[in-house]
Amino acid sequence: MSIKKGKSTQRALLVLLTLAMFITIATAFAIYYHLERYAKVTDKMYKVQSLANKIVYFDEALTMSARMYAYEKDLQWYSRYQSLVIQLDHALNQASHEASSIHDLIEKNEPLNQKLISIEERSFADVRNNRLQQAQQTLKSPEYQALKQRYTNLVILTFQDIHNQLQEQQNNHRDWYQTFLWVLGLQVLGFVLVWFYLVNFLRLNVSRLSNLITTDDLTGLGNRRSFDDILQRELRRSIRDGKMLMLAVIDIDYFKKYNDYYGHPKGDQVLTMFGKLIEQTLRRANEFGFRIGGEEFAVIASVDSVEDGTASIEYLMLKLHKKQMEHKGNAETGQVTMSAGIAFHHADEIMTDEELYSAADKALYVAKERGRNQWVQYIDDKS
């Protein structure tokens, strides 16, 4: 991907992410708003319902008190009637704060209310003048009954109306917040999916990148950087585990001449083929192959004995011979051959990676000096 394209993709991703964040925040606000409204409407419904119950109760109770007063002429009933009138007024006032239709109901039906009160007052006057039968008749009269019924019906219908309106609002808010909850759920799911995608994408790219950093493009073997790291690591491991470590530095003989004779692309093919041979030879987990320079390769292997190590390089040489690749610049064999310098790190030695590499390199030099197409093991003269 070009830098320009990468930057525009990044910008587009940033815009998308910002947009998605705004939508999520807006959705969360919408849920909060509708949930809050839903709770408020529900609360109001309970309040209105309880006021409606109170009003109907006070209304019936005050009629009952008026009747009882007409029958018993007991002043207790009269004062109960009066206290109920005050309580009813208070409840109606409270209800009119909750819903304007109650206020309208009180205003519009004031004449009807006054009529009822005047009939009740008339019966109370009869009671006071000991005309109890007259008082009872007044309260039982069809006119009073009809007015009372009308008043009660009006109250009930108004409250029913309010209840229906509130229920509609409640359902509306519930539908909205449930819809937004789904939207938020889908957004969260989307975020989770994008998150997983990004994490996977990054992980893949990181492993690709680390491969690129440590792999030689042409042969697919480890490159110089990974050679340095793995040589240090394996050396530490061999000292810790008390095992022998082999390092072989391998070079294609007269490779300059090969390039000169057959051309650079053909030279590349030889390098690729040799890289594959190394890969096929190194079968065990603790054996590693590298291309550490132009036509220079290396093998690091944890071995049980010197023979074990040299045998694997011998085997690699044999495989290369079997290929019988023509190399007219190689006057000795006429084929592509290799030379190798082998050095061992023994468990009881203390050697640095540089010392081990230098030893293998020296042995390679000797192999070249002795006529190439061979391996030479480094022997420390001082020991």
Ligand X SMILES: Nc1nc2c(ncn2[C@@H]2O[C@H](COP(=O)(O)OP(=O)(O)OP(=O)(O)O)[C@@H](O)[C@H]2O)c(=O)[nH]1
Question: In this chain, which stretch among 20-28, 62-70, 98-106, 250-258 interacts with ligand X, using CB under 6 A?
Answer: 250-258
> What span, in angstroms and rounded, lies between the C-alpha atoms of 366 and 171?
93
The number of residues in the chain equals 383
Question: In this chain, which stretch among 103-111, 181-189, 264-272, 302-310 interacts with ligand X, using CB under 6 A?
Answer: 264-272
CB of residue 16 to ligand X, shortest distance in Å: 44
CB of residue 231 to ligand X, shortest distance in Å: 21
Nearer to ligand X by C-beta: 208 or 256?
A: 256
Residue 253 binding ligand X, by CB under 6 A: yes
Kindly tell me which residue out of 267, 275, 289, 341 binds ligand X, with binding defined by CB under 6 A.
267
> What span, in angstroms and rounded, lies between the C-alpha atoms of 273 and 323?
10
Residue 227 binding ligand X, by CB under 6 A: no
End-to-end CA distance of the chain: 56
Do 101 and 162 touch, CB atoms closer than 8 A?
yes
Question: In this chain, which stretch among 85-93, 164-172, 252-260, 374-382 interacts with ligand X, using CB under 6 A?
Answer: 252-260
Pick out residues in 165-224 that bind ligand X (CB under 6 A): 218
Kindly tell me which residue out of 104, 268, 354, 380 binds ligand X, with binding defined by CB under 6 A.
268
Kindly tell me which residue out of 59, 120, 216, 251 binds ligand X, with binding defined by CB under 6 A.
251
Residue 264 binding ligand X, by CB under 6 A: yes
Do 219 and 264 touch, CB atoms closer than 8 A?
no
Residue 271 binding ligand X, by CB under 6 A: yes
Q: Which residues of 34-66 are buried (b: 16+ CB within 10 A; e: fewer)?
A: bbebbeebbebbebbeebbebbbebbebbbebb
- Please give the torsion angle defined by the CA atoms of residues 224, 230, 234 and 235, in that order, rounded to the nearest 10 degrees: 50
Closest CA to 230 of 282, 144, 290: 290
**Cα radius of gyration (the chain):** 51
Q: Other C-beta atoms within 10 Å of 241: how many?
A: 12
**Contact track, ligand X, 285-324, x by CB under 6 A:** ---------xx-----------------------------
The residue number with the shortest CB distance to ligand X is 294
In this structure, what DSSP letter does residue 326 have? Answer: B
Kindly tell me which residue out of 77, 124, 227, 254 binds ligand X, with binding defined by CB under 6 A.
254
State the maximum Cα–Cα separation within the chain, in Å, rounded to a whole number.
Answer: 152
Nearer to ligand X by C-beta: 126 or 253?
A: 253
Question: In this chain, which stretch among 191-199, 219-227, 261-269, 375-383 interacts with ligand X, using CB under 6 A?
Answer: 261-269
> What span, in angstroms and rounded, lies between the C-alpha atoms of 269 and 291?
14
Nearer to ligand X by C-beta: 233 or 321?
A: 321
H/E stretch holding 84 reads helix 75-98
Residue 274 binding ligand X, by CB under 6 A: no
The single-letter code of the amino acid at 314 is E
**Contact track, ligand X, 31-70, x by CB under 6 A:** ----------------------------------------
Residues that bind ligand X (CB under 6 A): 218, 251-257, 259, 264, 267-268, 271, 294-295, 368, 372
